[in-house]
Homo-oligomer: A and B are copies of this chain.
Amino acid sequence: MALPPGMLPEIEPVSRESTAAVIARQLRDAIMTGALPPGTQLGETELAARFQVSRGPLREAMQHLVSEGLLRSERHRGLFVIDLEPGDVYDIYAARSAIERAAMLRALRGGDRDRIADLLEQTVAEMATAASEDDPGALSTADLKFHEALINASGSKRLVRMARTLLIETRMCLTALQSTYQRVEERVEEHTKLIQALRDGDEDTALTLLEAHMEDAVQRLAPGTSLKDGHAPPVPGNA
C-alpha cells in the first residue's frame, strides 16, 4: 500500500499463466496457422521433450484442446489434429452465423454503438494494412480479429467462450484453403458496410449483411453448399 497508485501498472505474478495454458496456446497457434496440419499425430512423449516439461502438464494441455474440439482423442491410440471435412466448413459457418448474429444484436441494442464501431474500424484498418503488404496470413488474422472484437463487444461471456473454438476452426479453414479467390477490397468493403449499419443502428441491414457475409464465405470455401439449407450435403465426395 506504500506504492503510489498509477505506478507499475498491472503488476502481476511472474507466472500468471499455468504451464498447461502456455502449452495449449502454443499448440493452438500451431494448429491455427497450419504448422501442425490436420491429421497429424501428437505424441505425448515427443512433445513433452520439445516443451521441456513432464507429461503431466502436457496431458492437461492436450485434454483442454480436445474438449475445445481442436484435437481428436482415440483411446490408447493417440491424439490427432482434427481434419475438417467439407461438411465441417458448413457447420462452422452455420454456428458462427448463430453466434455472431446474437453478438451483433446485443451490440446494436446494448448502446455504445459508436465505441464498438470505432473498435471494429481499427481491425479493418489492420486488414487494409495487411492487404497492402500482400500478407494473406496477416489479412486472415485481422479478419478474425474483427469478428472476435464484435463478439467481445457483445459483453456475453458465453458467446465469447463458444466463439473461441469457432474462430480457430475458421482460421484452419482459411489456412487449408488459402486460395480465397476474393478481392481484398471487396473483403474490406463488406466489413466496412457492416460497421456502418451498426453505427446507424440499422438492425435489418446489419443482420442481413452479416448473413450474407457468412454465406459468401461458405460458398467460397465449400462451393455448392448454402447456409440457407438446413443441412449440409452428406459428403460432396471427390467428384
Interface residues of A (CB under 8 A from B): 18, 20, 56, 59-60, 63-64, 67-69, 75, 88, 91-92, 94-95, 97-99, 101-102, 105-111, 155-159, 161-162, 165-166, 228-231
A-B contact pairs, 28 of them (CB 8 A): A20-B63, A56-B56, A60-B63, A63-B64, A64-B67, A67-B67, A67-B68, A69-B158, A69-B161, A91-B156, A94-B106, A94-B156, A94-B158, A94-B159, A95-B158, A98-B102, A105-B230, A106-B231, A108-B230, A109-B230, A110-B229, A110-B230, A110-B231, A111-B230, A155-B230, A155-B231, A158-B166, A162-B162
Choose one: B63, B88, B97, B111; the contact of A102 (CB below 8 Å). B97
The distance from the CB of A25 to the nearest CB of chain B, in whole angstroms, is 13
The main secondary structure of chain A at its interface with chain B is helix
Choose one: B64, B68, B105, B231; the contact of A111 (CB below 8 Å). B231
Instruction: Using A60-B59, A64-B63, A67-B64 as known contacts, say yes or no to A159 and B98 having CB atoms under 8 A apart.
Output: yes
Closest to A163 in B: B162
C-alpha spacing A148/B59, complex, angstroms: 30
C-alpha spacing A20/B111, complex, angstroms: 44
The distance from the CB of A206 to the nearest CB of chain B, in whole angstroms, is 13
C-alpha spacing A156/B91, complex, angstroms: 6
B contact residues around A165 at 8 Å (CB)? 158
B contact residues around A75 at 8 Å (CB)? 18
C-alpha spacing A21/B64, complex, angstroms: 13
The distance from the CB of A56 to the nearest CB of chain B, in whole angstroms, is 7
C-alpha spacing A56/B63, complex, angstroms: 12
C-alpha spacing A156/B230, complex, angstroms: 10
Q: Is the CB of A156 within 8 A of B102?
A: no
B contact residues around A157 at 8 Å (CB)? 88, 91
C-alpha spacing A92/B162, complex, angstroms: 12
B contact residues around A20 at 8 Å (CB)? 63
Closest to A162 in B: B162
Closest to A102 in B: B98
The distance from the CB of A222 to the nearest CB of chain B, in whole angstroms, is 15
Q: Is the CB of A91 within 8 A of B59?
A: no
Q: Is the CB of A159 within 8 A of B95?
A: yes
Closest to A107 in B: B230
